[in-house]
A = this chain, B = another copy of it.
C-alpha cells in the first residue's frame, strides 16, 4: 500500500495505534496539540506543522512575508483549538539555493509579525538546504490550565455546533490566485488564503469560560475537521447547510461564477476558524459573550447519535448523509471550478 492509497489520516491512525502514548502523557497523538504535564496546575502544549512548497504553497501565489506569517499562524491555530496560550516556537527551514537572503529576511519578518500579534517568542530552529522543494516547519509550545483545556473528544449528543467567523474564503482566494484574478472585491478572500488569522483570542476566551465540550480548528475543511471531532467523541452531527456562515465577498463571487459557495466552506480548508460543540446549559454564556462583542460565532448544527454519522440538512428540509470522506465529493466539485 502506498501513501497515496493509505491517505494522511489513515497513516496517522496507524501510527496512533502502534505508538499509543503512555498514560503519563495526558494527551498524545491525535489532537490539535499534545499535552504534557508541566506543573500541578498547567499543561504544556506541543504542536508542529509544516508548509511544503507545491503541496501547501507556491511562491507565485504568496510573498515570503505572507508565507512566514502563515507558517506560524497554522500552528497558532492548533494551540487556539485547545484553548491554549502560545509561548515559544522553533523554526525549521528547508531552502532552495536560489533563495535570496532578502527573501529569507522577509520570511522571518512575516514570522515575527505573527509572533508579535500572538505574543509568542522564537527561541531557535534550524536551516537546511532542500534543493528541489522548500519547506517551513514550525513547532509551537503553548500553555494551558488543566481545567481549561479543550480536546476533540468531549462532544455529547444534544450539544450545539458553532463556528467562528466565516468559511470558504481561503479556498476561494486560492482559486482566484490560480485564475490570476486579483480584483479589489476579491482582496479579502485572497488575504485569508495568504495570511490567515489564527483565532487565538477566541480560543483562549472559550477555554477560560469553559464553554466548548470539544473543539478543533478548520484546516482541512468543515467536513473533514468535524469528522475528527465525531471520531474522537464517538458521536454524529447534523449540519444546517444554509446556516454555514459565508462572507458577502464569497457570496458575490459564487453568484458571479454560478458556483456553490458551500462547496468551498465544506471542503475548501485553510480557513483556520474554530469549530466547537457547546452543551445546552452553556449556550447562554456564549450568547452573552457574543453580545458583548468578545467573539463572533454562528450556530451551524447539533451533535446527534453516533449511528446517524454526519448528515447535512438542506434549506428545503431534506437530509443528506455524508459518509466519512464524503466531503471529497465537494472537493471534486471544487476542482472543476
Contact = CB atoms under 8 A, between A and B. Distances in A.
B6 A128 contact: no
A54 B36 CA distance: 35
Contacts of A39: 39
Interface string A114-142: 00000001111111111111010101010
Contact of A29 (B102, B123, B132): B123
A104 B12 CA distance: 11
A127 B8 CA distance: 7
A333 interface: no
A186 B1 CA distance: 35
A108 B87 CA distance: 29
- Copies of the chain in the assembly: 2
Contact of A124 (B14, B33, B100): B33
Contacts of A52: 94, 128-130
A279 interface: no
A28 interface: yes
Closest 6 interchain pairs by CB? A34-B123, A139-B139, A34-B124, A132-B132, A132-B133, A48-B90
27 contacts: A1-B100, A2-B98, A2-B100, A3-B98, A3-B99, A3-B100, A5-B101, A11-B127, A22-B121, A24-B121, A25-B121, A29-B122, A34-B124, A36-B87, A36-B123, A36-B141, A38-B44, A48-B125, A48-B139, A49-B92, A49-B126, A50-B94, A50-B137, A92-B139, A131-B133, A132-B132, A139-B139
Interface of A: 1-6, 8, 11-12, 14-15, 18-19, 21-22, 24-25, 28-31, 33-34, 36, 38-39, 44, 46-50, 52, 54-56, 87-88, 90, 92, 94-102, 104-105, 108, 112, 121-133, 135, 137, 139, 141
